[in-house]
Amino acid sequence: MNILRMLRDKPWLHPTAAATAAQYAGPDHAAAMRVLLRFILAIVGVLFFLFIITFLARSQYPDFEALAGQPWQPFTDPSRLWFNTALLACASLAIQWGLGGTRAGKLNVTVAGISAAVFFTVLFLAAQFDLWLRLQSMGFFMAGNPANSYFYLLTAIHGLHLIGGLVVLSNVVFRVWYDNSPESLTAPLQLCTTYWHFLLGVWLVLFALLTSRPETINALAAMCGF
Amino acid sequence: MQNVAIADQPDHLHDPQTFVTKYIYSQDHKVIAIQYGLTAVFVGVVALVLSGLMRLQLGFPDTFDFIDPSAYLQFVTMHGMIMVIYLLTALLLGGFGNYMIPLMIGARDMVFPFMNMLSFWAYLLSVIVLLASFFVPGGPTGAGWTLYPPQAILDGTPGYDWGIILMLASLAIFIIAFTMGGLNYVTTVLQARTHGMTLMRMPLTIWGIFTATVLGLLAFPALLVSAIMMMLDKTLGTSFFMPALVSLGENLDYSGGSPVLFQHLFWFFGHPEVYIVALPAFGMVSDVLATHARKNIFGYRMMVWAIVGIGVLSFFVWAHHMYVSGMDPAFGFFFATTTLIIAVPTAIKVYNWILTLYRGNIHLTVPMLFAIGFIFTFTHGGLTGLFLGNVTIDLPLSDTYFVVAHFHMVMGVSPIMVLFAAIYHWYPLLTGKMFNERLGKLHFWFTFLGTYAIYLPMHYLGFLGVPRRYFAMGSTDFIPESAQSLNASITISALIVGLSQLIFLYNVFWSIRNGRPAGHNPWGATSLEWQTPDVPPRHGNWGPELPRVYRWAYDYSVPGAEHDFIPQNHPVSAAEQTSGEHGEHKS
């Protein structure tokens, strides 16, 4: 392992002689951005991981009523959530398509892909908001039950991360107009694409968790020792 | 993205000229560092004044009418929160992290300067929101710095309304600020090191700051999660943490929540936070000791491993803060064991500092005095940690002054001693002037001896069973009258130490104008930050060409060398090569 070899290094032993190699020009910008994204994904991952852990711990208190399992509960039939999931998956596919376009140097595919990604993402957010309204009209309010609270909280936090992604993406998109050089777009768009896929993955985990029946949640909580 | 431009091209070298670009809209890491530093010192002084007020009440009860029980609890809370988060974390990482990382690794700036600037302004906003809570109805929260629910948001706790909301909002903003800064620090260390600067050639300061930042990036989300959920409990009536309860004769709408869940989240952040503060201090004190003892740091590799090891272990000890909350004895055993294991890498570090001093050419300069003072205070604070890490000893001592004395020695006084050492050590670089040596020594002796005058007797009060957080002791059988005179003497010492910090502030500001010019590298240090073409370093740090690194950061007193230090950017000389295998003299 590279890092282990690095940590075994004895830096006091071998000072180097004056080198003749070319002057070091400064950090590699694209590499720095990749490292940045890895750290961001790690932090967002930890954030959702902690929320999920508290969800499992809280689910073991007697007043917790899961949102699925009984006929009167909203996600016993999660078809509405499958629809929203499809929207977000379309956004992921579209941004991947746009990225393929930039790599091939096709500006029209890039624009179409990014536009579709933004469209589907905004549609997903609107659909999630509509879901909130529907839950409210069914009497599942934020403070009614911890399961409801977690549904609103986790979808809101996930939505905020998507909105953050849209802000960054819009910043990336304006490059196309400023530079008009699709090559300069490839690296940042690659990072955006990874972020979108990551948030789709997070959403799938949340989806599975929030629509789980009580037995599933109890089994998961038991595995975590709660 | 224009916000991620790296100032590495020669056309970025010209300095910003106007007041706004130079000091307000500045993306220069050195300016941002000083902005962070001044803001942190400002809130730190506020927190220091609060501690003075607390001590006045404890030392001389029934004397000051304006300190009622509510005000006392508010002082305690704000003092703790400001000192831990807004002073220590911000000054060590936002201040020193920003200043030192690019200079010590040979970069022109952070890799994301715009995000770095945003980080400072978000931090300033969090400070303003925090201080605003002094001026809202009900005042700041008095829930204790741990903000435990349910009491933190219930009627009866001072500041249960506006105060706690502003506190939680301020913490959330601070976490965003820290995350933006922290992402910069880790990315810069990993990506922007200059030619020849391998990770194992980095000064320990950078290792400490780097590891602490990784801890912060992974631990602060826990505080954010708990802050968000408590905020919802307070404002929207959810029951994440709030159990069913009766308050002032009324049934509240909460039901079923778990206060202990908050404690787990809080301490999952809270314990790594101790090391977020301690690790940069460990790193900086290593560099100060090596420089002023004219000797390479003893066991560099072991020091790096210890820093990383402490960082990893710090995520597995959090529940030792919760022994009295009740837990399965097996968990208690687990957390007591991990807590004691963490003493091993920590002890390695202490031994290595002492062995660095052994047969060194010790110069008792002001930074060196503070660094040696740190070894004392940290050892004493660490030893009492061995008591408190054990469940059976912690239970009787919990919530007494023993705990207060322990954590003030280990994570209050000790990092502050290092901060003073670091400020005095790098002052010539920051300002280009020398501080007044005599005033610095006066400041050291007041601070160091005063610390012991405050905290040694406090251990004793703790053994007597004097409880912490109490506004007044009342009449109790087990606390003798003499405890009160001890309390009064602690208060007098604390006021003297507090006032003696004015010597420091006076020295810092007086010397900017009146100090004698420091010139290049007055301490004869090897690390890169002292090798800049200008002192203080200008925008872009290195002039037209980035430095090249040929050796590690601790080549002090190398046999056969012309001076007793060889800077990192000096290649191997002919004399060194003829004096045989370089490492033989030192390994």
Nearest to A143 among B1, B238, B555 (CB): B238
Crossing angle (nearest 10°) for helices B113-132 and B29-59: 20
* Bigger pLDDT: B393 vs B25: B393
Average of pLDDT values for B135-163? 94
Specify if B28 maps to a domain. Answer: no
pTM, full prediction: 0.94
Specify if B7 maps to a domain. Answer: no
Q: What is the pLDDT of residues B436-467, one digit of tens each?
A: 999 999 999 999 999 999 999 999 999 999 99
Sort B424 into a burial class: Cβ within 10 Å, 0-12 / 13-18 / 19+: buried
**Largest distance between two CA atoms of chain A:** 77
What are the Cα distances from residue B254, in Å, to A139, B284, B370?
A: 18, 48, 51
Specify if B62 maps to a domain. Answer: yes
- Contacts with B582 from chain A: Cβ below 8 Å: 13-15
Specify if B13 maps to a domain. Answer: no
**Six token digits for residue B16:** 């910003």
Give residue B566's pLDDT band: very low, low, confident or very high (50, 70, 90): very high
- Contacts with A27 from chain B: Cβ below 8 Å: 6, 8, 107, 111, 188, 191-192
* Of A13-17, B51-55, B225-229, B407-411, minimum mean pLDDT range: A13-17
Nearest Cα of chain A lies from the Cα of B177 at a distance, in angstroms, of 14
Report mean pLDDT in 10-residue bins for chain A, 226 residues: 79 77 76 95 97 94 88 87 96 96 90 95 97 93 92 97 95 77 84 97 96 93 88
Say if CB B194 and CB B547 are below 8 A apart. yes
Residue B52 has pLDDT above 70, yes or no: yes
pLDDT at B6: 43
Residue B587 has pLDDT above 50, yes or no: no
Question: Per the structure, how many domains does chain B have?
Answer: 1
**Six token digits for residue B145:** 């710095």
Taking an 8 Å cut-off on Cβ atoms, the answer to whether B548 and A24 are in contact is yes
Q: What is the pLDDT of residues B235-247, one digit of tens each?
A: 999 999 999 998 8
Say if CB B526 and CB B476 are below 8 A apart. no
Give residue B9's pLDDT band: very low, low, confident or very high (50, 70, 90): very low
pLDDT at B481: 84
Q: What is the pLDDT of residues A18-43, one digit of tens each?
A: 765 666 777 888 899 999 999 999 99
Specify if B560 maps to a domain. Answer: yes
Provide the domain limits for residue B577.
33-243+254-585
Residue B585 has pLDDT above 60, yes or no: no
Taking an 8 Å cut-off on Cβ atoms, the answer to whether B587 and A13 are in contact is yes
Which DSSP symbol is given to B573?
P
- Give CA B569 to chain center in angstroms: 30
Give the bridge partners for B446, in sequence order.
none
Specify if B107 maps to a domain. Answer: yes
Average of pLDDT values for B536-554? 90
Please provide the distance, in angstroms rounded to a whole number, between the alpha carbons at the two ends of chain B.
Answer: 48
Specify if B298 maps to a domain. Answer: yes
Say if CB B380 and CB B409 are below 8 A apart. yes
Q: For each of the domains in chain A, give its residue range(s) and CATH number, in order of start.
A: 80-223 (1.20.120.80)
* Bigger pLDDT: B248 vs A122: A122
Q: Does B6 touch chain A (CB under 8 A)?
A: yes
HEC letters along chain A: CHHHHHHCCCCCCCCCCCCCCCCCCCCCHHHHHHHHHHHHHHHHHHHHHHHHHHHHHHCCCCCCCCCCCCCCCCCCCCHHHHHHHHHHHHHHHHHHHHHHHHHCCCHHHHHHHHHHHHHHHHHHHHHHHHHHHHHHHCCCCCCCCHHHHHHHHHHHHHHHHHHHHHHHHHHHHHHHHHHCCHHHHHHHHHHHHHHHHHHHHHHHHHHHHHCCCHHHHHHHHHHCCC
For the stretch B367-402, what's the b/e string if a residue is b when 16 or more beta carbons lie within 10 angstroms of its beta carbon? bbbbbbbbbbbbbbbbebbeebbbbeebeebbbbbb
pLDDT at B472: 86
Nearest Cα of chain A lies from the Cα of B12 at a distance, in angstroms, of 13
Its ipTM equals 0.94
Share of chain B above pLDDT 70, in %: 95
Residues 6+ apart with CB under 8 A from B53: B64, B67, B71, B75
Instruction: Choose from A13-22, B207-216, B238-247, B322-331 the range with maximum mean pLDDT.
Output: B207-216
Specify if B20 maps to a domain. Answer: no
- Contacts with A47 from chain B: Cβ below 8 Å: 221, 224-225
Taking an 8 Å cut-off on Cβ atoms, the answer to whether B1 and A171 are in contact is yes
Dihedral sign for Cα A174, A175, A180, A184, please: negative
- Given its phi and psi angles, is residue B141 left (phi above 0), alpha (psi -120 to 50 degrees) or beta? beta
Instruction: Specify the CATH number for the domain of residue B404.
Output: 1.20.210.10
